[in-house]
Amino acid sequence: AQTVTQSQPEMSVQEAETVTLSCTYDTSENNYYLFWYKQPPSRQMILVIRQEAYKQQNATENRFSVNFQKAAKSFSLKISDSQLGDTAMYFCAFMNTGNQFYFGTGTSLTVIP
Amino acid sequence: DAGITQSPRHKVTETGTPVTLRCHQTENHRYMYWYRQDPGHGLRLIHYSYGVKDTDKGEVSDGYSVSRSKTEDFLLTLESATSSQTSVYFCAISEEGATQYFGPGTRLLVL
């Protein structure tokens, strides 16, 4: 079974600074997908970024980028130039080849003005 | 935004009563999922469907059943609600090997 671990329950960052959220996972599969989702106070789950395991290049989406270390089974999210609207719960997720998703327990990020 | 709706959005019920939550999609995606979200647990999979009338259990399926008679609808039923089933329920959809998109959630309170 796959497991996803987010070891930082809460984090804070000053506005305009950079923050990195950690995620590790455990799997015996070679082909899979990794995601970061954001959940603001509205509770809507919003996709932040996606990474295919077969791609060596780290995914980027504007201010969001990942550091994907396949051998270490690590998938961290870096948020640059943090904005107040980035305040949310962030979930790391793993998808296997059977389209089953596994989520971490989340990291609550607060951006401080 | 993906076309996913959930109904009802909020529900209060009493212990022992049956409850059905509905997820409706307009995207014609093959896969549909039901999760529950509780503090400290993230999202946990209850059941999922990989096609019409094709469903399978997830991590926390006890006390829940599902049905999918049409591509667009995925129903979650609590046969006899218990207080431990008080939670926020999310429906999600995806295609093969693709990103999962979520509905707005249903807040269920079992008294």
CB of B39 within 8 Å of any CB in chain A?
no
Asked if A54 and A34 touch (Cβ cutoff 8 Å), the reply is no
Given the DSSP bridges, would you call strands A33-39 and A46-52 parallel, antiparallel or unpaired?
antiparallel
Distance (Å, whole) CA B86 – CA B108: 5
Q: How confident is the model at residue B2 (pLDDT cuts 50, 70, 90)?
A: low
Residue B1 has pLDDT above 60, yes or no: no
Beta-carbon contacts below 8 Å between A and B: 47
Tens of pLDDT, residue by residue over B33-55, are 999 999 888 899 999 999 999 99
Residue with token string 């949310």: A88
Residue A2 has pLDDT above 90, yes or no: no
- Map residue A44 onto helix, strand or coil: coil
Distance (Å, whole) CA A105 – CA A39: 12
Contact (CB<8Å) A103/B105: no
Nearest to A106 among B31, B42, B100 (CB): B42
Distance (Å, whole) CA A76 – CA A86: 16
